[in-house]
Amino acid sequence: MNKELRKAVIAGNWKMNKTRPEAKALIEELKPIAEKATCDVVICVPFTNLETAVELTKGTNIKVGAENVHFEKSGAFTGEISADMLTEIGVEYVIIGHSERRQYFGETDETVNKRTKAALAAGLKPIVCVGELLWERKCDITKEVIARQIKLDLFDVSAEDAKKTIIAYEPVWAIGTGETATSEQAEEVCSFIREQLTEKYSKEVADTITIQYGGSMNPKNAAELLAQPDVDGGLIGGASLKAADFGVLLDAASNG
């Protein structure tokens, strides 16, 4: 088992939640809780909260991420934000290709790939999301779907850059539904992702890449999921919005 070669990363994905005062309150509550964590702690917050989050987490072990980034450096892309705009305010991580972006905003593996490369070029650490739909799992093509996403999303990403990338396995049927993948299901796909990364790069590279599980991870199921050999952390939606719940997940990852 090579778990010790990689960093456990727990990342909150706040999605479209928290006004600025609410964000301030949650971060202040989180700071003393996160302090004892030995895993990496990231909060990915709406664009309007990024500066507040960076400011309030200065000098703490909490890192800040965005929830999306555009692939061009600048130009006529109404409503989009570039990688340089994120790095200049101190953002370090960015979620790319979340299933909600793919489902509601028409993002494809091609745009996920472009966004990933733009993020890496600017020095951001991408959290690239992959995962199958319920229908795809029922049709028994989960591994085909995941293999395809890994190939397309990481097309032309060098081994050096791949080492800076986090892969989040988020089965779409488990997101926000309360239905979690069992620890066996999560491990099966996360270890399959590592096999794909080994094939694409090398074992040495694959062994250093953090692979998260995401989808209804909560204080009750986190320890078991995080104890799996290829589950190196979590991308957390609902449970990242309550400091106490997020703290339990940080403890589980720190001890896992």
Q: Which residue has the tokens 């990231």?
A: 42
**Does 175 participate in binding ligand 13P (rule CB under 6 A)?**
yes
Contact call for residue 252 and ligand 13P (CB under 6 A) = no
Match 């991580």 to its residue by tokens. 93
In degrees and rounded to multiples of 5, residue 210 shows phi and psi of -75, 125
Q: Which of 162, 206, 225, 236 binds ligand 13P (CB under 6 A)?
A: 236
82-101 residues near ligand 13P, rule: CB under 6 A: 98
For tokens 């999303």, what's the residue?
153
125 contacts: CB under 8 Å, gap ≥ 6: 65, 92, 93, 94, 119, 164, 165, 166
Q: Tell me whether residue 201 or residue 239 sits nearer to ligand 13P (CB atom).
A: 239
**How many residues belong to the site for ligand 13P (CB under 6 A)?**
14
Beta bridge partners of 101: none
Map tokens 């472009």 to a residue.
114
Applying CB under 6 A, does 145 fall inside the site for ligand 13P? no
User: Is residue 217 close enough to count as binding ligand 13P by CB under 6 A?
Assistant: yes
Which one of 16-24, 26-34, 51-59, 235-243 is the stretch in contact with ligand 13P (CB under 6 A)?
235-243
Residue 105's CB is within 10 A of a number of other CB atoms, namely 10
**Beta carbon of residue 213, minimum distance to ligand 13P (angstroms, whole number):** 10
210 binds ligand 13P (CB under 6 A): no
CB 235 within 8 A of CB 222: no
Query: Which residues are tagged catalytic?
Result: 98, 170
- Contacts with ligand 13P by CB under 6 A lie at 13, 98, 170, 175-176, 214-217, 235-239
